[in-house]
Amino acid sequence: MSDIDVNSVQNLDENSKKEVANFIQQQTSKAKIQNSVTNFTDMCFKKCVTTVNDANLDRNEEECLGNCLNRFLDTNIKIVQILQSLQK
Amino acid sequence: MGSFLGFGGGNKNEGSTAPAADSQALEVKSKIKNSIAQEMATAYATGLVNALSENCFQKCIIKPSDSLSTADEKCISDCASKFMRSWNLISKEYISRINKQS
């Protein structure tokens, strides 16, 4: 990777700094989503894909994966609600 | 702090639209962006390789022997393909849910 000179970064004009900051923000949220997707896939693959006979997912597996993700997210919301009600 | 002599001529810039400063800013920006994108891609690939290895090892290598059999290799390749298809499905589903909620 090529080195980036610190001074040349500090000397960037305001618009360029904003542009870079925006880029970093975009990349960060993209990375967060990718990271979550990998974690969800890891979790749901374990639950839903029990046999490996060919390279394709069958109907049941696809349906299970979709349900798995959505029920996990539901669970997540429920947990937050429970914690909120405990705080009161 | 910081000297301003890092790059070509020490003249004050009147207005930031001087072509030299402009092309230099462009270069710095693209360097930063490329290096960030590179880091992100590496982190993503590492995470994926770990998840794939762990899951497919678990599913395919039931009794580790002294080398991978042809059947093991077929299983690993099918498993990796299934995992990536699952990744894509989960990704689509997750993004549509995020869009629904916001």
Taking CB atoms and an 8 Å limit, are B86 and A44 in contact across chains?
A: yes
Give the DSSP H or E segment for B32: helix B19-60
- Per-residue pLDDT tens over the stretch A16-44: 889 999 999 999 999 999 999 999 999 99
Query: Hey, is B68 helix, strand or coil?
Result: coil
Give the one of A9, A23, A73 whose C-beta lies nearest to B97's C-beta: A73
Q: Does residue B19 fall inside a structural domain?
A: yes
Residue type for position B55: N
How far are the Cα atoms of A66, B17, B32, B95 from residue A9, in angstroms, in the given order?
44, 17, 9, 34
Which CATH number do you get for residue A41?
1.10.287.810
Number of domains in chain B: 1
pLDDT averaged over every residue in chain A: 93
Chain A nearest CA to B91, separation (Å):
6
Q: Does residue B10 fall inside a structural domain?
A: no
Which residues in chain B are contacts of A30 at CB distance < 8 A? 40
Interface contact A11, partner B, CB < 8 A: yes
Give the one of B2, B36, B82 whose C-beta lies nearest to A23's C-beta: B36
What is the ipTM for the molecules in this complex? 0.87
Which CATH number do you get for residue B83?
1.10.287.810
Burial environment of residue A49 by CB neighbours within 10 A (0 to 12, 13 to 18, 19 or more): buried
pLDDT score recorded for residue B20: 63
How far are the Cα atoms of A12, B28, B36 from residue A18, in angstroms, in the given order?
10, 13, 15
- Residue A38 in contact with residue B51, Cβ under 8 Å? yes
Q: Containing domain of residue A24, as a range?
A: 6-87
**Average pLDDT, 10 consecutive residues per value, chain B (102 residues):** 40 49 83 92 96 98 96 98 98 95 79
pLDDT score recorded for residue A2: 59
Number of domains in chain A: 1
